[in-house]
Amino acid sequence: MLLSLLPFIALGGSSFFVSAAPTWCEVNGHKYNVDQVITKDVSIIGGGSSGTYSAIHLRDAGKSVAVIEQLDRLGGHCQTYIDPATGFPIDYGVEIFHHFDFVTNYFARLNVSLTTSGSVPGVTEVYADFLTSKLVTPSAGDFAAALSTYAEQVAKYPYLNYGFDLPHPVPEDLLLTFIDFAKKYNLSALMPFAWIFTQGVGDFRETPAIYFLKSFGPDDISDLQTGFLTTALHDNSLLYLSAQAVLGSDVFYNSIILDVERSHDGVSIIIKQGTKFTLIKSSQLIVAIQPTLSNLAPFDLADSEEHVFKKFKYTQYFTSIIKNSGIPSNTSLSAIDPSLEFSVPSPPSLYSIVQTGIPNLQLAFYLATNKSTTDSEIESTILSQVKNIQVPGKGVSEPEFVVTSNHKPFTLQVSADDIRDGFYGRLYGLQGTRRTWWVGATLHTHDSSLIWRFVEGLLPNVAEALK
């Protein structure tokens, strides 16, 4: 990275810059006339769960940070709708957290109170076949026994609770499809519930079991008994609003990343906000976005990095709030398909229609495993199936969306053969190389609490690299 007449001084982890006149610089062979130059200890790309957690903890440790976020807010998958009629919030992204000390400490640090999560009172969950528009009674089975058996199997792999630091060889049970794993251990009574609980992970008939065991792990099993945590005001976005206040101008919102260059001299990032161009320089880089080749297009990827990231495929997880469904306010619907083994639907499919506690508003969740499926196709399917579903006491049904969000790319995954061949060892081997550290759901699973624990383990290495 070449820089002409760079007018900045960095002292004590703070940044000072002069931007009275544009400054020419070159990053990845591209020349830019930037409006300002910032220097920090650590640049963080992505202001979602892992990026925000990293930023707060680095700041608290006396390090300077720059968080680069494409949206106008922090929080990533954590999204909350405020009903204008009642003023009540509805979380339609991240909903629950685990009972870990670092979780409660983090919320306390940001002055956000927690409580035990609960279901909407007076609501009955029923099963529905959205393809035939009929309610269905699932096959009887011993759920408790199946859950106990599943817990015994999950306990065999304690390392899954901390990431993808896998043994060699990788146990073959983890590489079975989840449906074959369920067959092997007689988990049929658990499958309809597991389908709803592991939303966004993938197709039970195609996706390796390891991804589901990470999404439905020992902490989840424990919290099913004791209750998960959520914010006391039932607005999980409050965590990120508080983080925004703490981080202040260290967050660069509405940013388009144009170039990322990593060299022995440091990290250089060019971002554009509207018509303003900024060069951000740092010693270390934390990447807290999904590492698809598309997302990493501005990077100076090495062959070793590209070889890893090109392997990923991903799911689309679509969340929404609907109104005017006609579904009675005392009924929530979970999808099953009795024509298929274990009654587990085959994607693309609705997961569930869930009551919010606010009259006439329900949550709707949907999975697509084909990345070419469009939002309009997903929306059309949801509205059609909600309109047609036959529920006792259902009123006039003219459903429409209040708010929608496609969390794509959601679960990044690779084939069983790639996992067997040491894929995750190569992915983890990238940590710290080229001044770059990788965090987020792809390095673990879509669970904020577990992601934060992963970050907790990684940040000491980042701090050491800053010395």
290 in Cβ contact with 412 (< 8 Å) = yes
398 in Cβ contact with 273 (< 8 Å) = no
**Mean pLDDT, to the nearest integer, of 94-119?**
98
Domain span holding position 247: 32-78+233-311+414-466
pLDDT score of 6: 34
DSSP label of 275: T
pLDDT bucket at 22, cuts 50 / 70 / 90: confident
- Amino acid at the residue 286: I
**What contacts 24+ positions apart, CB below 8 Å, involve 272-276?**
276/35, 276/36
The number of residues making up the chain comes to 467
Does 353 lie in the same domain as 217? Answer: yes
Which sign does the torsion angle of CA 252, 234, 335, 380 carry? negative
124-138, 146-160, 200-214, 408-422 — which is least confidently predicted?
A: 124-138
**pLDDT at residue 358 above 70?**
yes
**pLDDT at residue 20 above 50?**
no
More confident residue, 6 or 288: 288
**Domains in the chain, number:** 2
Torsion of CA 272, 278, 281, 285, to 10 degrees: -20
**Mean pLDDT, to the nearest integer, of 122-134?**
96
pLDDT score of 10: 35
Domain's final residue, options 393, 408, 423: 408
**Mean pLDDT, to the nearest integer, of 440-445?**
99
Helices marked H in 83-190 — which ranges? 101-109, 143-154, 178-184
Contacts (Cβ under 8 Å, ≥6 apart) of 137 = 127
Domain's final residue, options 408, 423, 439: 408
pLDDT score of 190: 97
The burial of 35, by beta-carbon neighbours within 10 Å (0-12 exposed, 13-18 middle, 19 or more buried), is given as middle
The burial of 396, by beta-carbon neighbours within 10 Å (0-12 exposed, 13-18 middle, 19 or more buried), is given as exposed
**pLDDT at residue 14 above 90?**
no
Question: Is position 4 within any domain?
Answer: no
More confident residue, 137 or 296: 296
Does 462 lie in the same domain as 448? Answer: yes
Question: Is position 5 within any domain?
Answer: no
Question: d(Cα 283, Cα 267) in Å, to the nearest integer?
Answer: 6
343 in Cβ contact with 336 (< 8 Å) = yes
Does 300 lie in the same domain as 342? Answer: no
What is the CATH classification number for the domain harbouring 371? 3.90.660
Question: Is position 24 within any domain?
Answer: no
Mean pLDDT of the residues in the chain: 95
How many Cα atoms sit within 13 Å of 447 on the Cβ side?
30
Question: Is position 208 within any domain?
Answer: yes
Domain's final residue, options 359, 381, 408: 408
**Mean pLDDT, to the nearest integer, of 380-392?**
97
Does 196 lie in the same domain as 277? Answer: no
What token pair was written down for 43? 């640049």
User: Which DSSP string corresponds to 284-352?
Assistant: EEEE-S---TTTTTTB---HHHHHHHTT-EE-EEEEEEEE-----TTEEEEE--TTSGGG---SSEEEE
**Mean pLDDT, to the nearest integer, of 251-272?**
98
Does 259 lie in the same domain as 136? Answer: no
Does 286 lie in the same domain as 392? Answer: no
From 245, 246, 257, select the one nearest 285 (Cα to Cα): 257
**pLDDT at residue 32 above 90?**
yes
pLDDT score of 141: 85
Q: For 145, phi and psi rounded to 5 degrees? A: -65, -40
**pLDDT at residue 76 above 90?**
yes
pLDDT bucket at 9, cuts 50 / 70 / 90: very low
Does 342 lie in the same domain as 460? Answer: no
pLDDT score of 353: 98
pLDDT score of 21: 59
- Tens-place pLDDT, residues 170-185: 999 999 999 999 999 9
Question: d(Cα 328, Cα 125) in Å, to the nearest integer?
Answer: 12
From 67, 64, 66, select the one nearest 47 (Cα to Cα): 67
Does 319 lie in the same domain as 404? Answer: yes
Question: Is position 108 within any domain?
Answer: no
From 350, 351, 367, 362, select the one nearest 123 (Cα to Cα): 362
Percent of the chain with pLDDT over 90: 94
Does 388 lie in the same domain as 255? Answer: no
Does 366 lie in the same domain as 317? Answer: yes
List, in sequence order, every beta strand (DSSP E) within 56-154.
65-68, 80-82, 89-91, 114-116, 124-129, 134-136
Helices marked H in 11-164 — which ranges? 49-60, 101-109, 143-154
- Tens-place pLDDT, residues 265-292: 999 999 999 999 999 999 999 999 999 9
pLDDT score of 129: 97
Question: Is position 266 within any domain?
Answer: yes
From 88, 130, 131, 135, select the one nearest 402 (Cα to Cα): 88
Does 161 lie in the same domain as 42? Answer: no
pTM over 0.75: yes
Bridge partners, residue 268, by sequence = 261, 281
What is the CATH classification number for the domain harbouring 422? 3.50.50.60
Contacts (Cβ under 8 Å, ≥6 apart) of 162 = 444, 450, 453, 454, 457
Question: Is position 99 within any domain?
Answer: no
239 in Cβ contact with 78 (< 8 Å) = yes
More confident residue, 103 or 14: 103
pLDDT score of 91: 98
Does 219 lie in the same domain as 336? Answer: yes
